[in-house]
Each structure stands twice: as C-alpha cells, then as structure tokens.
Amino acid sequence: MKRPTGEIKPLFLIFLIFPLLLCGASALWWPLLEPLELALAVTLHLAIAVVYIQTYPAIATEIPSFRILRLAESAGPGGASMEELITQMGQGELVGSRQSLMTEDGLVIESAEGMSLTTAGKLLAVAFLTYRKLLGLGEGGG
Amino acid sequence: MQIKWMLLGLAWASLPLLLVVHGLLVRVLKGKSGQNVVLLAILAGNLPFLALSVWCLWPMRPQLLLPLLAYLLVVYQGFGYAYFHFYNMSETARRIRLLILIYQGRLKRSEEAASAYSPEEMVRNRLGRLTAMGQLTQNEVGRYVAKGGILLFAAKMIAAYRQLLGLDDWCKS
C-alpha cells in the first residue's frame, strides 16, 4: 500500500475529519446518542486523538533534540563537541525533510518566483506568532 | 441536561485555563526553561481545573461525581499534552520556523533555507535549551555530556518503538 504523502493532512483526515463526519452522519441517520452526549463523546475523542497526532511526528521523523541527546550519550563520558554534533546532524535531512513535508501538506507552494504560503500556511504562521505574542514571548528559535 | 452542558463547558474551559496558567507562570518564572515552565503550568493547572469542576458540579453524590471528574481529568490531560506540544512547536519546530520566515518574507527560495536557518544555529539553539532543561551538561573542556534525564529516556523509547515498527534508527543513519 502506498504511504500517504505529507504528515499533518493524513493525521487530520484519519483522526479528526473522518470521525467527525461519522459522528455527524450518526447524529443524522442513526441517533444512538442525544446531541449533548455526542458532543461529550466527540470532546473525549478529540482529547485522545490530539495526543496521537502530536506524538506521531516524533515516531515518524527525527527530533533533532532527541538525536543530539543520543549522540551525546553515545559519545561516552568524554561527551561530544558542538562541531561534532553539527557534522553528525547533517543539513539535508534537517531542513530538507521539513520543507518537502510542508509542500506535501499544502502549507507551502514552490514556483519559479519562489516559495509562498497557502491560506492554511498563512493561518498557521499567524496563529503561532499571535500565540507567542500573547504569552509575551519572542519568536521561537526553531 | 444542565449537568451535560456543564460538563461540556468545563471540558472546553480546560484550554483557556491552560493558556491563562501558562501565561501567568511565563511572567512569574522569567528566564527559566520554556519547556519546564509549560510542563509546570500543565501539572499545576490540574488543581484549579479540579477545584473549578468540583465547585460547578457540587453538590452531587460521589458515585456520580467521581466518573464525571475522571472524564474531565482525562480530557484535561489530553488537551494538556497537546498544549505542551503546541508550545514546543512554537519554540522548536523547524517547519514552524520556516513557515514564519516565509510569512515574514525573510525566506523566498528553498535554496536559501540553509543560510536562513543554518545547522550551526539549529544545533546551538537545541544545545542551549537542553542544557537549560538539565538534560545536557558541559564538561570542563566544553564538550556536551548527556545527563540521562527524562528526554533521553523518551528518545530511547521512541528509538525502540521505531525498531519494533521496522523503521530505521535515524541516530545510526
């Protein structure tokens, strides 16, 4: 079976959109629960679904901080220098993999003029900028 | 009917509550590791959330109250976990950083990504955060040594799970 492209899109479809459609259909055609009970069930589902959605990327792709920790540990008691860690991390997979995922998820469009954000990409960028401003924090370091 | 509305309201109130508790702690604990602060906010938020839930659902027989509180606490922990990752993404995620750079017009072409977000900067940022969180320490010659904290344990667990799934170990690639 072909692996779905992107990361955010398939997760949202499987764990949020599809179950919500199923609940909507159930409410309309097979009303097993009354609307409020269904809303409570959906809330519980969302609370558990977001746990998986947030955990999956850690399993599917590398987390640089985890990689640094394991590289430092495998270096033994003498530890690892920053230069050694930078060499072992490798630029291509760190940034390149993220860029291609953003394109596959429909957040970024690449054209001859360069890269631009889709509406979803803009919304995400604004949401994170606003959130950090609300907390009184500066831009994240990445 | 009224209790179900109350339950629904309380479950969704956990999200703004997390934001408020986190916002307060960020201002009180200035200079502390962001990840430690958000973790503390989520754990500490359990108390006001539980207190608010009991106050709203009071008086109710314990046989009825306990399952409702269990429901609310499960929802709170799920949202709390997601909130932790949301904050973490805002702080550390490469793709969010790239999205913001593109949004601000600071990154126009994919080839520029390497200079806009260099591996040196990426590793330096993470070493700073991991040291501030007490997961790494620098020895007398400035080399980084893993302290064997909770994040190293999590990294090993994920590596073991990837092995179980038959995926490659990216630390060895």
Q: What is the pLDDT of residues B78-97, one digit of tens each?
A: 999 999 999 998 988 888 88
DSSP 8-class letter at B165: T
Q: Give the global pTM.
A: 0.81
Give the residue-averaged pLDDT of B128-154.
Answer: 91
Judged against a pLDDT cut of 90, whether residue B15 lies above it is answered with yes
Kindly report, residue by residue over A18-47, the tens digit of the pLDDT: 999 999 998 889 888 888 999 999 999 999
Extract the tokens encoding A128: 């994170």
What band does B168 get if pLDDT is binned at 50, 70 and 90? Answer: low
pLDDT tens, position by position, B60-74:
888 889 999 999 999
Q: Are A110 and B110 in contact (CB < 8 Å)?
A: yes
Distances (CA, A) of A4 to A1, A7, A8, A62: 9, 8, 11, 18
**Contact residues on chain A for B82, CB-CB shorter than 8 A:** 47, 50-51, 53-54
Q: Count CA atoms closer than 13 A to A25's CA, side-chain side.
A: 6
Residues 123 to 142 of B: which have CB under 8 A from any A CB? 123-130, 135-136, 138-139, 142
Which chain B residue shows the shortest CA-CA distance from A116? B102
Average pLDDT over residues A97-106: 78
The CB density around residue A66, as the number of other CB atoms within 10 Å, is 22
For residue range A40-68, what is the model confidence (pLDDT) as tens digits? 999 999 999 999 998 887 777 778 888 89
The larger pLDDT score, comparing residue B93 to residue B170, is at B93
Query: Measuring CA to CA, how many Å separate B103 from each of A109, A140, B99, B100, B141?
Result: 12, 14, 6, 5, 40
Average pLDDT over residues B148-172: 79
> What is the pLDDT at residue A2?
62
Which residue's structure tokens are 């179950």?
A19
**Closest by Cα among B125, B126, B147, B14 to B72:** B14
- Identify the closest residue of chain B to A79 by CA–CA distance: B145
With an 8 Å Cβ cutoff, are B96 and A142 in contact? yes
Q: Is the ipTM of this complex over 0.90?
A: no
* Mean pLDDT in residue range B152-162: 88
Query: Which one of B8, B124, B144 has the shortest CB-CB distance to A80?
Result: B144
Separation in Å, CA B76 to CA A47, A50, B52, B60, B167:
8, 12, 12, 21, 32
Residues of B in Cβ contact (< 8 Å) with A44: 11, 71, 74-75
* Closest by Cα among A100, A21, A109 to B95: A100
Cβ-based contacts of A91 with chain B (< 8 Å): 114, 118-119
Closest Cα to residue B75, out of A45, A15, A39, A12?
A: A45
A125 with B108: Cβ contact below 8 A: no
Asked if residue B39 has pLDDT above 90, the reply is yes
The position carrying tokens 């986190």 is B22
Gap from B46 CA to chain A (nearest CA, Å): 15
Find the residue in B nearest to A53 (Cα): B82
Question: Would you state the pLDDT for residue A20?
Answer: 93
Q: How far is A109 from chain B (nearest CA, A)?
A: 11
Q: Do A69 and B139 touch (CB under 8 A)?
A: no
Whether the CB-CB separation of B42 and B66 falls below 8 Å is answered with: no
The predicted structure's pLDDT at residue B173: 44
Which chain B residues touch A64 with a CB distance below 8 Å? 94, 122-123, 126
Amino acid type, B62:
P
